[in-house]
Each structure stands twice: as C-alpha cells, then as structure tokens.
Amino acid sequence: MGIRFDSVTVAYDGNVVLDSLDLTVEPGEVMALLGPSGSGKTTALRAVAGFVRPVSGRVLLGGRDVTDLPPYRRGIGMVVQSYALFPHMRVEENVAFGLRARKAPRTEIRQRVAEALEMTGMAGYARRHPRELSGGQQQRVAIARALAIRPDVLLLDEPLSALDAQLRSGMLTELARLHRELPDLSMLYVTHDQVEALTLADRIAVMDRARLQSCGTPRELYRAPADEFTASFVGNANLLPVTVGCGGVDFAGAGLKVGTGDAVAGARATLCVRPHLVGLGEGPNRLTGTVTEIQWRGATHRLYVEVDGHTLMADVRELRDPPRHGDRVHVHFAAEDAVLLPAGVAGDGS
Amino acid sequence: MAADLVTRTVGTLPRTTPASPGPGKVPEAPRNTRPRRWGAALWALPPVLALGLFFLYPLALVVRQSLQPDTGGTSLRPYADIFASEAFRHALWTTVWLASASTAGCLVLGFLLALVIAFVPFPGAKAVARFIDVYLSFPSFLITLALLFVYGTTGIVGSFQFLTTPWGVLLAEVTYFTPFVMRPLLAAFGQLDTAQLEAAGSLGARAPRIVRQVILPEALPALAAGGSLVLVLCLNEFGIVLFTGAKGVTTLPMLVYSKAILESDYPGACAVAVVNVLISVGLYGLYRVVSRRAGA
C-alpha cells in the first residue's frame, strides 16, 4: 500500500509547519524524510498517522482518503524514538496489544506475537518487562509490536536516535533485512541523520523550513543535488561561488573546466564538489591554497584548504607525511565530479 | 614505563587513603566516625524534642486518660464501655462507610476530571489545573458553607433537604476531597509519555482501551496515594460533618466531640480518639504495604 500526500498543509495557530507537501511513497518503498529540526518531516509523518489534521490537502493510503479517519482506523504501524513501550506490560503483552485491540483470536495472537518476536530476534525475551531490556532491545520490541498487526505502512520517527553509534549501525542492518523480508511493506522513515537515510532509503525526500526541497534516490541526491541545501544536507559538500564562463566557470581568478549545462555565461552559480572527490597535488581544475586545519579520521585525512577566502574540504587517503598547518598546497578535482547549482547562499558570496 | 607510572601514581597517594577494595567489594567504613555521629545527634535533637513535646506527649496524655475511668485507677473499662455502646458501633460504621464511599467517589470523579484536564485539550486547561492547587488550600468548612447556599433549607435547590443527611455529608466530602486525588494524578499524567498513547492509537486501540490498559496502570500508584490520603482525611473529618448540621450523622470525631464537650466523659472521648488514631495508622500502614508491592 502506498502513501500519497496531496498538497498537505499543517498549521498550528496560523503558523505553517508543513507547506503544501506533494509526495508519493510507492508500495513496498522505503522513503526517508530527511531534514533539520523544524523542517516539517515529523509533522508529515504524524499527518499520515492521524495525530495532526491538515488544514488543507489530503492524505491517501493505498488510494483511500484517510484524512478524516482517526488513528485507530488507519491500520498503520508506528515506531518512535522513545520506543513508547507500555512499561507495565511484558514484551509479549506489548507485542500482542495491537492484535488484542483488533480482537484477533487467541491462537492467532500467540502465533503472530511469536512470529514478530522471531523476526526481530527478541523471541527469548518475551517474558521480560521493557525496563529489563537495553535500548536496542526495546526498539526491536517496538518494531515487533508495530509489525505484529501486519500493517501495509510502517512509520518510523527517528527510531535510532536514542541509540549509540554501534547499536544504530546494527539496527540499520536489521531494518534493511526487515525490508527485504517484507517487500510489500511501505516505510516512511523520518530522520535527520543522512547516513541512515542514505543506507536504508529507496528514495529520500529532503525537507527544509516546512517545504519539500527535493526528492530522489540517494545516489541522485548525492551525485547531482538540485540545490545547495540538498547538497549540504545529503553528505558533505564544497560549495564554491563561481561565475559561469565559456566552457567552464571562474573561481578565485582561476578558470575551471566543468560542465555548465544551460547556464548563461556571466551568471553567478554555485559549484558543488564532494570532499572525497577533491585530490591533493597536481591535476585537472587545480587550485592553490593554504592548509588551515588537518583532521586525522583513521582511513582518511581531512584537509581544510583556504583558497581566496573560501575554505575547501578535501578527504584524502591517510597520508604518511601530511601537510602542516600553513603549508601551501595544490588541490584538484575532475570535471565530471563537479555539479553546477543555481546560486544560493554560497553563490551570493556570503 | 607503565609500571613506573603506576608506582609513581600510587606513591603520591596520601597514606591515610584506604586501599581500594577491588571490584565488587564494599569499601570499609572510616574508623573514626565519632565526631560525625555526635554532630548528627545534635542536629536531630531539636526536631525530636519538638516532636516529643508538642505531639507525642499530648498523645500519651490522651492514651493515659483513656485508661483512667472516672471510678479511679487504671483499667480498660473505658474501652469496654465504648465497645459495648450502640452509639460507638453506629459511629464506627458511619465513619467507615462514609469515608469509604467518599474515597470511592473521589477516586472515580478525580480520575475522570484529571483525565480530561490532562489529555483533552481545551482552552483554560492549565488554569483549571492551577486552580486545583489553590482549592487544596481552602478550609473544608468553606466548601460545606458554599453547599449550604445551594442545598441548604434556604438554598437555591433547598427543597431537596438532603444536606443534613449522610448523603449531604458524602456530597460535601467528595466535593472537597476530590482535588486531593487529582493533584497526584495530574502529576502522574504529566510524566506519562504521550507517545505511548499515540502508539496505542496507531495499533488500533480506541480511547476506552487506552484509558484502561495504558493510562490506568500507570496511574495506579498516584491513585493509591491520593485515595489513601483521602480515606485517612475522611475518617478524621470533623468540620464538614459539623457544618452540614447532619444531626443523625455521628462519626467517630463527632462522638469524641460530644463525649468530651457535651457529656464531659473524658476517658470515653479519649478511648474513642485512640481507636480513631489506631484505624488511621492501620490504614496508613496498609497503604505503605500495598504501595510498596505495587512499586509506587
């Protein structure tokens, strides 16, 4: 079952927190809503769940308009950051809650609870209370509880934010496995963590200031972002203010040979280059600058190189003899690794 | 080098520092604790003296008086007399059923009102919650006085004539004591993660099931706390019964009053008072046991 936002607007006391959202999640697709705090992503999810009522627009589940339906009649599973397990109930009672609410027969409840716990690797913890489990285990129970009712749509609101980095990585793998095992299940995954979105999602909807900025596959958004915000929020990006020239762009007095597409010569634009695609030393599109910061990150070194007042990030493989602070270095990038974006904040030269 | 570092670090420790007990071991208590113990005793002395002088000593006098019948000597005669009297048994029964019914009424009404204030968004909900705090400071007779204007013989609906009956006392007690249940409940509801309610809703549960299976179990310790407080207060309530003017309603505190002031039977009054205290203390003990088992 797919999800469709049809010009959905949500406002609290006249303050618009979700502005005319048009978005479709295909059946069986994992859609990540990615954005900073206050971007409207959680509001969008709550509109699907039925906890906020749009002031205009429609929410459709499987083609059915559910805008006016109360949450208990929408048939969706939901997992939230705080797990929201019922503390007085054992794990098996938590998982059975939705089935009991739907008045499922006892034998079916037993069977489905066992299946859900097995699927999430929590079969051995059925008789425990939530307080006896770790954060990761509690989140698995929350997922089992949501899946036990066999929803067509699963809503996940920052489900891994309360977990430490190692657990988060493990749970991401688990969620990816669940997605493979339940190919018909549509997931709407709200997160502000680009790694979670890039790892798990089939498509990512990037949101900012209550509006949808762009939507595409992780690779599309990473390789060819449509705007500066998307470029900077999906992965790290060097955003250089440039002027479009003939067959390239001008930056800091240097001519760079990059594709300019339909851009008009003389127009201001922003050149986006990912840090890991910037090389150290001689090469095409060479720039010369001063090292202002060096960070060792295990497998890589990140260099911050100041070129004509603009700082470039370069992630290079761990160097045996890295440059020092204040050294003059050359950096370069290939033409096909640069994307020209409409001028935004960086293009304004600020 | 590492060993050197350890040696040097250990070597810098002051000699009086006790050795580390090792993992899982309880460190030994410092040997010289006498000054601290005396200091603690000095701090404890004033409140203990005040408690003894102003509370325990008068209470002991009441107990002593209850064991000294007018005929002289020391005996349990006053207790035998009051246990044998029909008036005492009637007062005991009236006290217990009124307190129990009032508590039940407060629990039901308080739970429903707190539920609405906490979970049903309406304009002024916060103001109402604050008013509950103010209401707790009102004297009990004020509520009864206010009820007289409504249900009294010259009140707005005075034709009911029921304020002077046990039902009038019950109404007044429920009206006055309900906020005592609501206060801890509102605090407990404030701690409840609303995501639990939303999760329950998304799983298909309607409001009655959410209240019954999610909210109520979480509210049980607060209900137990508020309910036991109201029960004890109702058992000892005097002002409301006096102000309603319910002549046929004699509770234990009223019996103490009539025996001491009207009949000048001080041993009998003190014996009733001691029984009243024992019931209150017993109920409080029961509450502690139940709340501990409930994990409150």
The answer to whether B193 faces chain A, any CB pair under 8 Å, is yes
In a domain, A95, yes or no: yes
Domains of chain B: 97-250 (1.10.3720.10)
**A271 and A208 co-located in one domain:** no
Is residue A131 within 8 A of residue A89, CB to CB? The reply is no
Pairing mode, strands A238-244 and A268-273: antiparallel
Task: Give the count of alpha carbons within 13 A of A71, CB side only.
Answer: 26
Mutation site for B-interface testing, chosen from A12, A45, A72 by largest number of B Cβ within 10 Å: A72
**A138 and A22 co-located in one domain:** yes
- What's the rounded Cα separation, in Å, for the pair A93 and A132? 15
Quick one: DSSP state of residue A79?
Answer: E
The answer to whether B200 faces chain A, any CB pair under 8 Å, is yes
Indicate yes or no: CB of A88 within 8 angstroms of CB of B204: no
- A48-57, A169-178, B20-29 — which one is most confidently predicted on average? A48-57
Per residue in A302-345, pLDDT tens?
999 999 889 999 998 877 888 888 999 999 999 888 899 887 75
The β-bridge partners of A214 are A206
**A260 and A280 co-located in one domain:** yes
pLDDT at A31: 94
The answer to whether A12 faces chain B, any CB pair under 8 Å, is no
pLDDT range class, residue A160, cuts 50, 70, 90: confident
* Helix (H/G/I), strand (E/B), else coil: B37: helix
With tokens 């000699």, the residue in question is B15
The terminus-to-terminus CA distance of chain B in angstroms comes to: 54
What is the dihedral angle through the alpha carbons of B276, B281, B285, B288, rounded to the nearest 10 degrees?
A: 110
The answer to whether A275 faces chain B, any CB pair under 8 Å, is no
The answer to whether A71 faces chain B, any CB pair under 8 Å, is yes
Mean pLDDT of A31-48: 92
Q: How many domains does chain A have?
A: 2
**Which pairs with CB-CB distance under 8 Å and at least 24 residues apart come from A126-134?**
A126/A90, A126/A91, A126/A92, A127/A90, A127/A91, A127/A92, A128/A90, A128/A91, A129/A87, A129/A88, A129/A89, A129/A90, A129/A91, A130/A83, A130/A85, A130/A86, A130/A87, A130/A89, A130/A91, A130/A94, A131/A87, A133/A91, A134/A167
- What's the rounded Cα separation, in Å, for the pair B150 and B147? 5
- What's the rounded Cα separation, in Å, for the pair A347 and A350? 8
Is residue A117 within 8 A of residue A123, CB to CB? The reply is yes
The answer to whether A159 faces chain B, any CB pair under 8 Å, is no
**A182 and A256 co-located in one domain:** no
Given a cut of 50, is residue A25 above it in pLDDT?
A: yes
DSSP characters over A320-333: SS---TT-EEEEE-
CATH number (domain holding residue A280): 2.40.50.100
With tokens 């688990």, the residue in question is A174
Q: Please count the residue pairs, one from chain A and one from chain B, whose beta carbons lie less than 8 angstroms apart.
A: 67
Instruction: Enumerate residues 19 to 58 of chain A having a beta carbon within 8 A of any beta carbon in chain B.
Output: 49-51
Q: Tell me the C-alpha to C-alpha distance, in Å, between residue B169 and each of B94, B149, B154, B177, B241.
A: 11, 15, 18, 12, 6
Which of A228, A250, A283 corresponds to the end of one domain? A228
Neighbours of B233 (CB within 10 A): 19
Is residue A310 within 8 A of residue A252, CB to CB? The reply is yes
pLDDT at B154: 64
Q: What percent of chain A has pLDDT over 90?
A: 44
pLDDT in tens, chain B (296 residues): 333 333 333 333 333 344 444 444 444 555 555 667 788 888 888 889 998 888 889 889 888 888 888 777 788 888 888 888 888 888 888 888 899 999 999 999 999 999 998 888 788 878 887 888 787 778 877 877 787 777 766 666 655 666 778 888 888 889 889 999 998 899 899 888 889 999 999 999 999 999 999 999 988 888 888 888 898 888 888 888 887 766 678 888 888 888 888 888 888 899 999 998 898 888 878 777 776 765 54
Closest to B94 measured CA to CA, from B147, B178, B169, B144? B169
Contacts with A86 from chain B: Cβ below 8 Å: 196, 200, 213-214, 217
Q: Tell me the two tokens of residue A221.
A: 């958004």
Per residue in A176-197, pLDDT tens?
888 888 888 899 999 988 888 8
Mutation site for B-interface testing, chosen from A46, A48, A51, A76 by largest number of B Cβ within 10 Å: A51
Structural domain boundaries, residue A306: 237-342
Indicate yes or no: CB of A86 within 8 angstroms of CB of B209: no
Amino acid sitting at position B73: G
ipTM field: 0.80
Given a cut of 80, is residue A158 above it in pLDDT?
A: yes
In a domain, A348, yes or no: no
- What's the rounded Cα separation, in Å, for the pair A162 and A193? 12
**A42 and A113 co-located in one domain:** yes
CATH number (domain holding residue A223): 3.40.50.300
The answer to whether A82 faces chain B, any CB pair under 8 Å, is yes
Contacts with A98 from chain B: Cβ below 8 Å: 203-205
Given a cut of 90, is residue A206 above it in pLDDT?
A: yes
pLDDT at A345: 55
- What's the rounded Cα separation, in Å, for the pair A86 and A288? 60
Closest partner residue to B209 (CB to CB) among A84, A88, A101 is: A101
In a domain, A98, yes or no: yes
pLDDT at A114: 92
- What's the rounded Cα separation, in Å, for the pair A96 and B245? 55
Is residue A158 within 8 A of residue A139, CB to CB? The reply is no
Indicate yes or no: CB of B204 within 8 angstroms of CB of A102: yes
What is the average pLDDT score of chain A? 88
- What's the rounded Cα separation, in Å, for the pair B13 and A249? 67
Angle made by CA atoms A219, A223, A225, in degrees to the nearest 5:
100
Mean pLDDT of A53-68: 91
pLDDT at B8: 35
Helices marked H in chain A = 41-49, 91-101, 106-119, 135-148, 165-181, 194-200, 218-223, 228-233
- What's the rounded Cα separation, in Å, for the pair A152 and A3? 10
Indicate yes or no: CB of B205 within 8 angstroms of CB of A97: yes
Cβ neighbours of residue A209 under 8 Å, at least 6 residues apart?
A38, A39, A40
With tokens 């207790």, the residue in question is B79
Given a cut of 90, is residue A245 above it in pLDDT?
A: no
Is residue A141 within 8 A of residue A122, CB to CB? The reply is yes
Distance of CA A181 to the CA centre of its chain: 22
- What's the rounded Cα separation, in Å, for the pair A231 and A145? 36
Per residue in B25-52, pLDDT tens?
444 555 555 667 788 888 888 889 998 8
Is residue A293 within 8 A of residue A303, CB to CB? The reply is yes
**A146 and A293 co-located in one domain:** no
**A254 and A210 co-located in one domain:** no
Contacts with A76 from chain B: Cβ below 8 Å: 202
Say which range, A55-69, A274-288, B87-101, B160-174, has the weakest mean pLDDT: B160-174
Which phi and psi angles does A244 have, rounded to 5°? Answer: -70, 130
Indicate yes or no: CB of B203 within 8 angstroms of CB of A82: no
- What's the rounded Cα separation, in Å, for the pair B79 and A262? 105
In a domain, A158, yes or no: yes
**A194 and A222 co-located in one domain:** yes
A84 φ/ψ sector (left φ>0, alpha ψ -120 to 50, else beta): left
pLDDT at A188: 94
Cβ neighbours of residue B158 under 8 Å, at least 6 residues apart?
B151, B152
The answer to whether B292 faces chain A, any CB pair under 8 Å, is no
In a domain, A88, yes or no: yes
pLDDT range class, residue A251, cuts 50, 70, 90: confident
**A309 and A199 co-located in one domain:** no
Distance from CA of A26 to the nearest CA of B (A): 21
Which of A228, A260, A287 corresponds to the end of one domain? A228
Which of A203, A228, A253 corresponds to the end of one domain? A228
**A200 and A83 co-located in one domain:** yes
Nearest CA in chain B to A153: B202
**A213 and A184 co-located in one domain:** yes
**A245 and A208 co-located in one domain:** no
CA-based radius of gyration for chain A? 24
Nearest CA in chain B to A81: B195
